[in-house]
Amino acid sequence: MDSATGACSVALWRDGAIVARRFAAMDRGQSEIMVPMVQEVMAEAGVGFQDLDGLGVTIGPGAFTGLRIGLAAARGLALASGLPLVGVTTFEAVGHGIPPEERLGRAVVVAVESRREDIFIQSFDNDMKLADQPRSIRPDAFAVPDCPTLIAGDAAVRLRMALEARGLQDAAGLRFAAGPGLPDAADVAALVAERGFASAADGPPRPFYLRPPDVTLPAAKPR
């Protein structure tokens, strides 16, 4: 399941392949279609919850409300079914969705929209292994990598604009992914199938906000 950014999707993985999937690009309204999508996908695959081995969900980063929609639904499903639930990050899901031929011989930077001034980014090497820590940066503070790199994710557009403003968009070895860069539950399912459910024993996956709430402590009162 995914609703962490500008989409909502549910997919069912069985024995090495996706057998049913729903995907809708949308900025709001995920709270309405997420659970019906789960029901549709399971009906199409002809399975009940008792037939599943586990559940997976994106934990963020992304839109705070969106990632909570997916996580609350997934944790509710896990609670009521007793199934193990594991989370993957938005970076991992988007990275997994890039066709291997598109990223051939390149490192990957996944840039995720925060809908604020900053963007969320994390890098992978050319074997799709995590190469640095996820972080929040201003697009104009992005340092062009010194190796051939593919930039993906729904904030790639903003990153490109910031690079254009600095005249760096055509820097040697820099490419931008063709796809919209939205996470897809099909990739979440594939990643979870690959990793297994052992981490579910540590408790339900926690949201990965990557930014504290926007709030400041009130000033001290005059008296």
Partner 1 sequence: MIVLGIETSCDETAAAVVTDRREILGDVVLSQLTDHRPYGGVVPEIAARAHLDHLDGLIRRAMDEAGLGFDQLDGVAATGGPGLIGGVIVGVMTAKAIAAVRGLPFIAVNHLEGHALTARLTDPAPEGLSFPYLLLLVSGGHCQILAVEGVGRYRRLGTTIDDAVGEAFDKAAKLMGLGYPGGPLLERAAEGGDASRFDLPRPMKGRPGCDFSFSGLKTAVRNRLSELPPGPFDPIDIRDLAASFQAAVGDVMVDRCSRAMAQFRAEHPTGDTLVVAGGVAANKYLRARLTALADKQGFRFQAPPLRLCTDNAVMIAWAGLERLRLGDTDGLDFAPRPRWPLDPTARKPDGKGAKA
Contact residues toward partner 1 (CB under 8 A) are 29, 31-36, 38-39, 49, 64-65, 68-69, 71-81, 204, 206-207, 209, 213-215, 217-218, 221, 223
User: Shortest distance, CB of residue 123 to partner 1, whole angstroms?
Assistant: 27
Structure tokens that stand for 20 in this block: 């049913």
Residue 90 main-chain phi, psi, to 5 deg:
-60, -40
User: Shortest distance, CB of residue 102 to partner 1, whole angstroms?
Assistant: 34
Helix (H, G, I), strand (E, B) or coil at 160: helix
Q: Are 110 and 116 in contact (CB under 8 A)?
A: no
Nearer to partner 1, 55 or 152 (CB): 55
Nearer to partner 1, 41 or 119 (CB): 41
How many angstroms separate the CA atoms of 105 and 146, rounded?
13
How many angstroms separate the CA atoms of 69 and 150, rounded?
30
User: Shortest distance, CB of residue 27 to partner 1, whole angstroms?
Assistant: 14
Residue that has been written with the tokens 């990957």 in this structure: 108
Of how many residues is the chain composed?
A: 223
Structure tokens that stand for 109 in this block: 């930077």
User: Shortest distance, CB of residue 130 to partner 1, whole angstroms?
Assistant: 25
